Amino acid sequence: MSSPTHFTTNPVCWLFCTVIDNFGDIGVSWRLAQELHTRLGWEIYLFVDDVTALQTILPDAPTQLPNKYRHIHLRDWREREYADFQAASMPNIIIEMFACDLPEDILHLIRSLKPIWLNWEYLSAEDWAIRTHAMPSLQADGSQKYFWQMGFVQQSGGLLREQNYVNQYADWIKRQPEKPVSGSPISIFAFGYSSEIWAKWCEIFSAQSHPIILRTAGTQIISSLKNAALLPENALIQDTEYTLGSLKIIRQDFVPQEQFDELLWASDINIIRGEDSFIRAQYAAVPFLWHIYPQAEMAHLDKLDAFWQTFWQHVPNNSFQAALTALSNELNGASVLSTAQRAEYWAILLADLSEWQRITQIWQQYLWAQSDAVTRLAAWLCDGLVNP
């Protein structure tokens, strides 16, 4: 069986991304495109169906497609309908991001050219995802497709991480002044979905004896607070700050993707959604909660539970594990706490913030000790497991 290392030229890869969760899908797709080009030297065509989402995380991205941007060919497409591959280099590798459905003319091209065909799956720690990683799937037309399962353990497809990330993180840490022993506000960054929980949690934050700064990205948290009448309708439109007791709410504008990590590093707690943000929050070694994308019949709770089970297998058991689990469940619709319970659990976490940070640092080091997803992909291809 031949190996992709025998390509006579640098491989051409077509990536197909359909934007569902606004920024998680395109965020992962763009990072993957960049790493495949920068690290492996592949020629990348990224097919996107929402260039506005791309521009939100990359403000200087072109408005018109087709275009070439930062060495990546950007092309327009619509799931199942069409893809603009006019005058494009023919692919050696095709990657469907997150089980998107390719148009018939692309499927015809796959049958004709027989490129390596991957489905880059959603991030999961569930057992089935680990078992099916890199497994082949024979399609009805005889084509072979493989499933790449991102994950947190060595048996999975790994997580995206740039080669220079660890050094960038270390350099940033060195530049930071020491925090005052006491008195400085607790900084929380929150990027989540619409939910009644935000008003309930903000009421807890506003009643703390210690000042809290809540930076909210996007519109959904602010809209949730207004729907609950915790904020007036005109709040955080012209002004960027609003104060409720001990809580100062700040409207956080979106930053370019390459600046997002520093936003996470600078926080004391990160509450994030989506796949790209979730991975970066874990690398930041800052206490975090995951507002997972809600699915029908609460299917997302299995994915959430599998992650936390994996997490607690690799960090020390802690006295605040029950509090963290309860708040994570409430955030994601698995349970509803009483006001007293909610206040008690947040009090436990905020009082032991340094210990919460310590265990997230242990988790960060566990992830960093593993190879990243692109390294694993390159090794898998070079092992000759598939036929280019």
Rounded CA-CA distance 310/156 in Å is 13
CATH number at residue 58: 3.40.50
Q: Say if residue 67 is in the same domain as residue 147.
A: yes
Q: Tell me the β-bridge partners of 136.
A: 146
User: What is the bridge-based pairing of β-strands 43-48 and 93-97?
Assistant: unpaired
Domain for residue 118, yes or no? yes
| Catalytic annotation present for 233 | no
The one catalytic residue in 25, 35, 96, 330 is 25
Please report the pLDDT score of residue 181 as a whole number.
61
Q: Between these two residues, 212 and 300, which has the higher pLDDT value?
A: 212
Domain for residue 226, yes or no? yes
Q: Say if residue 377 is in the same domain as residue 301.
A: no
Please report the pLDDT score of residue 388 as a whole number.
39
Domain for residue 387, yes or no? no
Rounded CA-CA distance 366/377 in Å is 20
Q: Say if residue 289 is in the same domain as residue 183.
A: yes
Q: Say if residue 210 is in the same domain as residue 306.
A: yes
pLDDT at 289 over 60: yes
Q: Say if residue 152 is in the same domain as residue 205.
A: no
Rounded CA-CA distance 258/192 in Å is 20
Domain for residue 242, yes or no? yes
Q: Say if residue 183 is in the same domain as residue 209.
A: yes
Q: Say if residue 265 is in the same domain as residue 217.
A: yes
Domain for residue 330, yes or no? yes
Please report the pLDDT score of residue 118 as a whole number.
96
CA geometry: angle 182, 184, 185, nearest 5 deg: 130
Domain for residue 388, yes or no? no
Rounded CA-CA distance 277/271 in Å is 9
Interval 369-383 mean pLDDT: 94
Which of 12-26, 158-172, 197-211 is predicted least confidently?
12-26
Residue type, 34: Q
Q: Is 170 helix (H, G, I), strand (E, B) or coil?
A: helix
Total domains in the fold of the chain: 2
Please report the pLDDT score of residue 299 as a whole number.
83
Domain for residue 335, yes or no? yes
Rounded CA-CA distance 327/330 in Å is 5
Neighbour order of strands in the sheet with 269-273: 241-244, 247-252, 212-217, 186-190, 269-273, 288-291
| Catalytic annotation present for 25 | yes
The one catalytic residue in 275, 276, 330, 372 is 275
Q: Say if residue 193 is in the same domain as residue 224.
A: yes
Please report the pLDDT score of residue 387 as a whole number.
42
Please report the pLDDT score of residue 313 as a whole number.
96
Those residues whose C-beta lies under 8 Å from the C-beta of residue 341, and which sit 6 or more positions away, are: 326
Rounded CA-CA distance 76/239 in Å is 37
Contact present, 185 and 210 (Cβ < 8 Å):
yes
Give the predicted TM-score (pTM) of the model: 0.93
Please report the pLDDT score of residue 180 as a whole number.
66
Structural domain including 344 reads: 165-368
Q: Say if residue 191 is in the same domain as residue 286.
A: yes
Q: Which two tokens stand for residue 171?
A: 């350099």
Q: Say if residue 259 is in the same domain as residue 208.
A: yes
CATH number at residue 294: 3.40.50.2000
Is the sign of the CA dihedral 45, 50, 51, 53 positive or negative? negative
Q: Say if residue 211 is in the same domain as residue 108.
A: no
> Each residue of 39-73: pLDDT tens digit?
999 999 999 999 999 999 999 999 899 999 999 99
Q: Say if residue 312 is in the same domain as residue 285.
A: yes
Please report the pLDDT score of residue 177 as a whole number.
85
Does an H or E element contain 345, and which?
A: helix 339-351
Domain for residue 92, yes or no? yes
